[in-house]
Amino acid sequence: MFNLNKEMTIGEIIEALPAAGIVMQKYFHGGCHHCASKNMEPLWLAAKLYGHEIEQILKELRELQADPDVVKAALELSALSARERRLRRESER
């Protein structure tokens, strides 16, 4: 377990806790995986830029970090969501 804090970059958080992508998608449009600033921008700054409370984001990330079952469920949901998005795009063609 790592010491999750607001000074970490989004990239550091996602690397250490892949399920964090679920929280990032919720608060930061698209989940930050594609964003070039994910490795430069600290979490607190992203929260400020998007108008979110940093403590709520940290709370949700820490809940993921603390519960392996929640992490597993979040990763499964993420995979399902990605599949659903892909199917939606394909059906729109």
What are the sequence ranges of the domains in the chain? 10-91
Q: How far is CA 69 from the centre of its chain?
A: 17
Q: How far is CA 87 from the centre of its chain?
A: 22
The model's pLDDT over 31-74, given as tens digits with 9 standing for 90+, comes to 555 666 777 889 999 999 989 999 999 999 998 888 767 666 66
List the beta bridge partners of residue 42.
Answer: 9
**Geometric angle at alpha carbon 42, from 39 and 44, rounded to 5°:** 155
Segment 11-32 mean pLDDT: 82
**Would you say the pTM of this structure is higher than 0.75?**
no
Q: How far is CA 57 from CA 7, 68, 72, 79, 88, in A?
A: 13, 18, 19, 21, 28
